Chains A and B, each alone.
Chain A
């Protein structure tokens, strides 16, 4: 079973540009989450999608957006890049169902996309 695939692995962008990162979840997984990892702030939640709907969003500015397609693949977009957006962006997928009492969910992470803004 293939794992979570994130592309590209590395990106270098200039301030003011925009960027799109892609995540292909494990086959059959319908929940995809995105996290930003920086040395200063650690791992911070960006958003979560389930069946093409954004269910949860972290405290990031509107420059950060995402979407999920019908095949569960997800993209996140960052517009008007700032130096502080340099980070490792991690995507996680899970087989979590909509049931509130499904306590055996676990998230599987991709290797991440390393974004450097210069």
Chain B
């Protein structure tokens, strides 16, 4: 079946450092890809998405490019802030005859120190 693999955390960085969180996927067809973020005590918020190969999703300084050849969707940010501390989930949308299902990676906990 479809699956998503994220780099293991936790990841700890200093403020203004460059961030990369790796995400690779296994899927039949061409799923949409997403990054969700979860702050403490909260649900999931969509951070960015890409719906086809070579699409770049971006939001709040975060970017990720849908790479079909490497089946990857790595999350990057040039300069992180303390407020970016959260858990990040990579996910794909599995479409089975119209029925929707998100398949998530295991999550990467990010801590940014001032």
Contacts and interface: CB of A to CB of B under 8 A. Distances in A.
B76 to A, nearest CB: 20
Nearest to B34: A106
Interface residues of B, number: 27
A33 B96 CA distance: 14
Given A103-B32, A107-B46, A45 B103 contact: yes
Contacts of B41: 111
Contacts of A109: 36, 43-45
B101 interface: yes
Contacts, number: 66
A104 interface: yes
B102 A33 contact: yes
A31 interface: yes
Given A106-B49, A107-B46, A35 B32 contact: no
Interface residues of A, number: 30
Interface in A20-73: 31, 33, 35, 42-43, 45, 48, 50, 55-56, 58
Nearest to B30: A103
A56 B96 contact: yes
Interface string B43-68: 11110010110000000000000000
A104 B49 CA distance: 9
Interface string B16-58: 0000000000000000101010000111111001011000000
B89 to A, nearest CB: 7
Nearest to B103: A45
26 contacts: A4-B43, A42-B104, A42-B106, A42-B107, A43-B104, A43-B107, A45-B101, A45-B103, A48-B100, A50-B98, A50-B99, A55-B98, A55-B100, A56-B99, A90-B43, A92-B102, A94-B100, A98-B98, A105-B32, A105-B100, A106-B49, A107-B46, A109-B43, A111-B42, A111-B43, A112-B42
Interface of A: 4, 6, 31, 33, 35, 42-43, 45, 48, 50, 55-56, 58, 90, 92, 94, 96, 98-100, 103-112
